């Protein structure tokens, strides 16, 4: 594809239309759009979340803009819910087919789902090129290769089809600290639409993950070496966003509080800056939670934190590949109890070796140590992604019929030593007695999207789960099952 002025017309499409448990901003695709614009190309952006008739809207854009390349962002494979499993790639696959049919554009796939399952998604969509890494770096390189009609062998973070042969070249991250400032991508997003629905603004302070949890996709998609942002640069970005009216920032790092010192420095930098925004962290690892961290987060004005505990049984924590034990959970609970940050404790039940006894240990921990004003979320079954350690275990244990085990079809690990009926009853009973306990039924609650919107318009601030007790009590009072 040779253009006269070296400019390529690129349409970036965010396909995510999932609004549960909460709507999320198209931050990744926006970063890609901004990087491609900075590389000198002509960019158009469409967020399909914004339109009811999203297909019609996309056709109109394709006709009006007539792109040379379409970058298709696919975030979610499925909803990670064994009971109400929903595959979420079907829309994106239909959209890709439509783009191939209706335009002359080359299709490049990207997004979290694509990084996990590039082959499957290339195969299903009919696209030939995918980005399996940080799109802001990889996409401009892919475009350069397309422009020069060269192969992608030297592009780290690209995957492609060569005839029927699949190639993949993962990014190699050496780790360390990067000094890049955070680009302003607000021009690509309808901030008002999102914040009006309880969405927070995603901020990344690092990439990659050194841990080896057996079920996780990070060992496949990311390196083990943290690439850290300087806290000063993060705070600069937050400051600029505050000026644009953003009030809630969510740290979307794989693990917020590791490295511990980096999180502490960040909190201190925020406090020193005098910013009065509200902060949230998706994921704290119990191995690195203490009074000092919670104190520093409180001072920086954190208004919520997720704690990915997963289990409170030492046996299960070991089986899941965790490097902490029940003792660390108890210490974390004590540190959190002394602070004032609402916490969401997350557990997964049914992993390898799970028995009635280990389930009881977890439920007993939640009841005894989690403050009733905090929330505990219990997920049942573990989504098995091919290439993960738990995937190998499932294969060894012949858990799935090989013929039906296709990567995109949600399949879940559930311990053979545990009866599903017993667990459902046990969890139902625990939920009945503890209004701050929620499970996947709460996340797929049909009115959750409306609740987020209504809550926001009534002045509630994110996240909605802070109000789990109040909401469950109110919904029950009007006869709804919650």
The residues binding ligand B12 (CB under 6 A) are 12, 16, 18-19, 21-25, 27-29, 31-32, 71-73, 75-81, 108, 110-113, 115-116, 131, 134-136, 139, 200, 202, 204, 217, 250, 252, 254, 282, 443
Pairing, β 106-110 against β 69-73: parallel
Pairing, β 278-284 against β 248-251: parallel
C-beta closer to ligand B12: residue 79 or 332:
79
C-beta closer to ligand B12: residue 303 or 326:
303
> How many CB atoms are closer than 10 A to CB 62?
21
Helix (H) or strand (E) holding 378: strand 375-380
Q: What is the C-alpha separation between 433 and 363, in angstroms, rounded?
A: 12
Q: What is the C-alpha separation between 3 and 9, in angstroms, rounded?
A: 10
Six token digits for residue 47: 């967020």
CB of 248 to ligand B12, least distance (A): 9
C-beta closer to ligand B12: residue 131 or 390:
131
C-beta closer to ligand B12: residue 106 or 469:
106
34 contacts 188 by C-beta, under 8 angstroms: yes
Six token digits for residue 482: 């919650």
**Which residues neighbour 458 within 8 Å (Cβ) at sequence distance 6 or greater?**
none
CB of 338 to ligand B12, least distance (A): 25
* Cis preceding-peptide flag for 259 (omega within 30 of 0): yes
Q: What is the C-alpha separation between 115 and 75, in angstroms, rounded?
A: 9
C-beta closer to ligand B12: residue 12 or 361:
12
C-beta closer to ligand B12: residue 334 or 444:
444
Six token digits for residue 5: 């002025």
Helix (H) or strand (E) holding 90: helix 90-102
Residue 291 has φ and ψ, to the nearest 5°, of -55, -40
CB of 212 to ligand B12, least distance (A): 14
152 contacts 167 by C-beta, under 8 angstroms: yes
Q: Which residues pair with 383 in a beta bridge?
A: 412
CB of 81 to ligand B12, least distance (A): 6
CB of 368 to ligand B12, least distance (A): 26
C-beta closer to ligand B12: residue 28 or 118:
28
CB of 327 to ligand B12, least distance (A): 26
C-beta closer to ligand B12: residue 12 or 370:
12
| CA 390 to centroid of chain Cα atoms | 20
Six token digits for residue 169: 């070249």
C-beta closer to ligand B12: residue 71 or 381:
71
CB of 37 to ligand B12, least distance (A): 13
CB of 70 to ligand B12, least distance (A): 8
CB of 201 to ligand B12, least distance (A): 7
Six token digits for residue 348: 């997964």
Q: What is the C-alpha separation between 434 and 373, in angstroms, rounded?
A: 11
The DSSP result for 441-458, as a single string, is HHHT-TTHHHHHHHHHHT
* Cis preceding-peptide flag for 21 (omega within 30 of 0): yes
C-beta closer to ligand B12: residue 112 or 240:
112
CB of 438 to ligand B12, least distance (A): 12
Residue spans of beta strands (DSSP E) within 311-371:
343-349
């Amino acid at each position: 594809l040779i253009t006269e002025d070296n400019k390529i017309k690129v349409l970036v499409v965010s396909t995510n239309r999932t609004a549960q448990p909460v709507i999320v901003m198209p931050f990744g695709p926006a970063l890609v759009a901004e990087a491609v614009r900075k590389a000198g190309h002509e960019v158009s952006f469409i967020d399909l979340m914004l339109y009811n008739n999203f297909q019609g809207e996309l056709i109109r854009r394709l006709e009006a803009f007539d792109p040379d390349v379409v970058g298709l962002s696919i975030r979610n494979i499925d909803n990670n819910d064994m009971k109400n499993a929903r595959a979420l790639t079907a829309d994106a696959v239909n959209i890709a087919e439509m783009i191939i049919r209706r335009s002359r554009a080359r299709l490049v796939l990207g997004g979290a789902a694509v990084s996990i399952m590039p082959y499957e998604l290339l195969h299903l969509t009919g696209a030939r090129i995918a980005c399996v890494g940080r799109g802001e770096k990889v996409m401009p390189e892919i475009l350069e290769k397309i422009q020069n009609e060269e192969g992608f062998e030297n592009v780290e973070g690209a995957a492609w089809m060569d005839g029927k042969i699949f190639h993949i070249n993962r990014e190699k991250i050496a780790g360390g600290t990067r000094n890049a400032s955070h680009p302003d991508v607000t021009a690509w997003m309808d901030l008002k639409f999102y914040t009006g629905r309880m969405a927070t603004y995603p901020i990344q302070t690092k990439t990659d993950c050194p841990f080896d949890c057996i079920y996780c996709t990070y060992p496949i998609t990311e390196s083990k070496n943290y690439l850290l942002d300087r806290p000063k640069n993060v705070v600069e970005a937050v400051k600029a966003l505050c000026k644009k009216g953003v009030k809630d920032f969510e740290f979307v790092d794989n693990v917020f509080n590791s490295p511990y010192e980096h999180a502490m420095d960040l909190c201190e930098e925020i406090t020193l800056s005098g910013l009065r925004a509200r902060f949230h962290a998706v994921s704290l690892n119990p191995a690195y939670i203490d009074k000092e961290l919670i104190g520093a987060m409180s001072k920086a004005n954190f208004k919520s934190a997720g704690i990915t505990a997963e289990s409170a049984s030492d046996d299960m924590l070991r089986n899941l590949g965790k490097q902490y034990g029940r003792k660390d959970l108890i210490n974390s609970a004590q540190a959190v109890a002394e602070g004032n940050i609402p916490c969401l404790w997350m557990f997964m039940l049914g992993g390898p070796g799970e028995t009635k006894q280990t389930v009881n240990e977890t439920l007993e921990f939640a009841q005894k140590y989690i403050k009733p004003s905090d929330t505990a979320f219990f997920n049942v079954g573990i989504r098995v992604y091919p290439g993960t350690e738990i995937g190998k275990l499932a294969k060894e244990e012949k858990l799935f019929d090989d013929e039906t085990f296709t990567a995109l079809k949600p399949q879940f690990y559930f311990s053979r030593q545990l009866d599903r009926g017993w667990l459902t009853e046990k969890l139902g009973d625990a939920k009945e007695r503890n209004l701050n306990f929620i499970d996947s039924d709460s996340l797929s609650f049909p009115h959750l999207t409306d609740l987020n919107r209504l809550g926001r318009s009534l002045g509630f601030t994110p996240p909605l789960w802070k109000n789990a007790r109040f909401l469950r009590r109110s919904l029950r009072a009007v006869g709804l099952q919650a």
